[in-house]
Amino acid sequence: MSVTELRPTGRTRPAPKSGAKEAAEAEALRAKTAAGAAAADIANQLKAAKAAADIAKGQAEADRIRQEAADAQREAARLRAETQAAREKAERSAAQWRSWARAIAVICVVVSLPLQMMAFWSPHAPFLLAAPLVLEGLAWALLKGAEAAIDDHRPSWHYRALAGAVALFAATVNYLHGSTAFGLGTGLGGAFCSLAGPMVWDLHEHGRIRKRDGKVSRRQRRAQAKHAAAEAAEKLAAEQRSEGEREALAATRAVQWPQVWERTVALAAAMGELYPSEATWKRAWDDTQGATLGDTADSIAAKVAAKAAVRTASNDRTNQVEKVEKVQVESQMTRPAKTPAAKRPDGRRNNGGTPPVRRAGDTLAYSPAARRAMSLAARTRPARAAAAS
């Protein structure tokens, strides 16, 4: 009987399975199902733990953002409160200074005016009693004119100068009369009161002028000058550092690529640049090397050679890595079906490479020509073996 006659030509029904084998397969299926369920449960638990960790992380981040926002609000409220307290304190100090200056001016008038009236008194000319009132009234009227000029953003120096001149005249009168009539102390006291009242009020107005014009104090000017000097020194140091780095870079380029640097200097001189710019350097590189910045003919050739060597090593049939990476896992012969062979799953993909169980009818029947060839080979094999021996 030939090999062709022994090979079945059609599908045959598999032998019935025994009860023990069916029970073993059912038990294996249940074990596999239980293992799959356990694995799915573990995967779900891992996902839940990861989701919980992500939720906790997001909650912590949200709490941190809320805490930072609350801290920022508290800091802003504190700054607003400090600013408001400083503003109120400044307003209170200004009001107190104004009230005290007015009180000192009134006291000085009370002291100096009677002494002036006594100086101008004469039984033959009683009308001269109005002269002290004219002097004091003129001084304070001029100071009020200076105040109005300050509020109206007009020059006020001439009002203040005239008020000072009137106060000085009144002080001279008080000094001469008081020293003659009551002694030196009275004369000095009257002269001081004649000058002190207008001077204190003029200081008050001077402060208002500086506040209106935004003038800063001497201490602030010194602090600003010191800060400006520090900034200028830092800027100079940065410029010197940048100049040093630029010179070092130029020296490196001149040593590494002398031809390119020579072309760069020539282009910079032609374009009127005191120092070659990066654009000039790129243009000089393109002119001399004919490639993008950083590439040369040698570097491009080395890159091409390296890529060719990689391709050669990848296509080498003796490369064991290539064979390991491309293991044959598909079945050699499968029965035609509606789904293409490339898309049908293979049993060896998920079972560690073990070939699937082959049953009768799994593959196509051999053609008659193939059967005749195999029969001829089977008949002539013993003769060839005997001849070889």
Mean pLDDT for 241-255 is 87
Three-state SS for the chain is CCHHHHCCCCCCCCCCCCHHHHHHHHHHHHHHHHHHHHHHHHHHHHHHHHHHHHHHHHHHHHHHHHHHHHHHHHHHHHHHHHHHHHHHHHHHHHHHHHHHHHHHHHHHHHHHHHHHHHHHCCCCCHHHHHHHHHHHHHHHHHHHHHHHHHHCCCCCHHHHHHHHHHHHHHHHHHHHHHHHHCCHHHHHHHHHHHHHHHHHHHHHHHHHHHHHHCCCCHHHHHHHHHHHHHHHHHHHHHHHHHHHHHHHHHHHHHHHCHHHHHHHHHHHHHCCCCCCCHHHHHHHHHHHHCCCCCCCHHHHHHHHHHHHHHHHHHHCCCCHHHHHHCCCCCCCCCCCCCCCCCCCCCHHHCCCCCCCCCCCCCCCCCCHHHHHHHHHHHHHHHHHHHHHC
Mean pLDDT for 110-114 is 80
Mean pLDDT for 269-286 is 87
Taking the C-alpha atoms of residue 163 and residue 144, their distance in angstroms, rounded to an integer, is 10
* pLDDT at residue 310, rounded to an integer: 85
Give yes or no for a contact between 338 and 358, defined as CB atoms under 8 angstroms apart.
no
Q: Which residue from 110, 105, 85, 137 is spatially nearest to 205, judged by alpha carbons? A: 105
When pLDDT is cut at 50, 70 and 90, the band that residue 216 belongs to is low
Q: Which residue from 185, 187, 182 is spatially nearest to 171, judged by alpha carbons? A: 187
* pLDDT at residue 195, rounded to an integer: 82
For the ranges 3-7, 154-158, 218-222, the one whose mean pLDDT is highest: 154-158
- In this predicted model, which residue has the larger pLDDT, 263 or 34? 263
Tell me the pTM. 0.36
* Lowest-pLDDT choice from 36-50, 155-169, 245-259, 349-363: 349-363
Mean pLDDT for 203-231 is 75
Mean pLDDT for 169-195 is 83
* Lowest-pLDDT choice from 112-121, 214-223, 294-303: 214-223
- In this predicted model, which residue has the larger pLDDT, 191 or 366? 191
pLDDT at 278 over 80: yes
* pLDDT at residue 121, rounded to an integer: 78
Taking the C-alpha atoms of residue 347 and residue 356, their distance in angstroms, rounded to an integer, is 6
Taking the C-alpha atoms of residue 324 and residue 213, their distance in angstroms, rounded to an integer, is 87
pLDDT of 309-365, one tens digit each?
Answer: 888 887 765 555 444 444 444 444 554 555 565 555 555 555 555 666 667 766 667
* pLDDT at residue 326, rounded to an integer: 43
User: Which tokens belong to 334?
Assistant: 């499968």
* pLDDT at residue 36, rounded to an integer: 78
When pLDDT is cut at 50, 70 and 90, the band that residue 1 belongs to is very low
Q: Which residue from 334, 367, 378, 328 is spatially nearest to 348, judged by alpha carbons? A: 328
Mean pLDDT for 195-200 is 81
* pLDDT at residue 384, rounded to an integer: 73
Mean pLDDT for 35-57 is 81
pLDDT at 198 over 70: yes
Mean pLDDT for 354-378 is 73
When pLDDT is cut at 50, 70 and 90, the band that residue 78 belongs to is confident
- The alpha carbons of the chain give a radius of gyration, in whole angstroms, of 55
The interaxial angle of helices 258-270 and 218-256, nearest 10 deg, is 130
Q: Which residue from 232, 297, 214 is spatially nearest to 259, judged by alpha carbons? A: 297
